[in-house]
Amino acid sequence: MSKSDLLLLAHWMAGDFSNRDQALAQPQLFAHIHIYFRPLPSAFFGTPGFYSEQVYDYDLWNPYRQGVHRLVDLGDSIVVENYGLKEAALYAGAGHDRDILLTIPRDGLERRPGCAMVFRREGEHFLGSVEPGNRCLIQRNGRQTYLVSEVELSETTWESLDRGMDIDTDEQVWGSKAGPLVFKKHQSFAAEVQADGV
């Protein structure tokens, strides 16, 4: 990997992604979802970083998942670190309202251990998966699960498959059984990516 790959990944990630076409074609299997990756100012981490949120299209101000991410070049891969927000509700909507985004405090983060994503470039795509070790733990439906996440990113698309597996039996507890979510970039935020520190 190179610094140019890290910047390319940042530019491709920066956007509002929607699976509208998939949801219209198979509404019984897929809800209409937006994933926002909104670039943070370079001063936040000193390297490219993002605020992310996932929301249902009918409820854009009430995200069901929020996070903050820092991109780190490890040479043979790019790690996207994963942080939670201590007071996440205060920043709901920051994916599509940059004024809210700019109020996120650096000291308001909590590291999500074992939950970083590792990306490698494969031609015109980046392929990502959760870091090895089955240490990204999520309590769901009264059971302790570990996250298995796979992502394929291009300049205009984001495909992701997240599944929660029982920590004792490896049985799938939650997540899609109908295949990956297929998102298309509805709006690009690449112009907001700042290259300072890269």
Find where tokens 């309590």 sit. Answer: 139
Q: Is 136 left (phi over 0), alpha (psi -120 to 50) or beta?
A: beta
Domains and CATH numbers, the chain: 3-192 (2.40.128.590)
Output the pTM of the full model.
0.93
| Of 34, 39, 46, 40, the residue nearest 13 (C-alpha) | 39
Lookup: tokens for 136: 């990204």
Contact at 8 Å (CB) between 12 and 153?
Answer: yes
The pLDDT tens digits for 3-59 are: 699 999 999 999 999 999 999 999 999 999 999 999 999 999 999 999 999 999 999
Q: How far apart are CA 150 and CA 123, in angstroms?
A: 17
99-154: pLDDT as tens digits: 999 999 999 999 999 999 999 999 999 999 999 999 999 999 889 999 999 999 99
- Which amino acid belongs to residue 64? Y
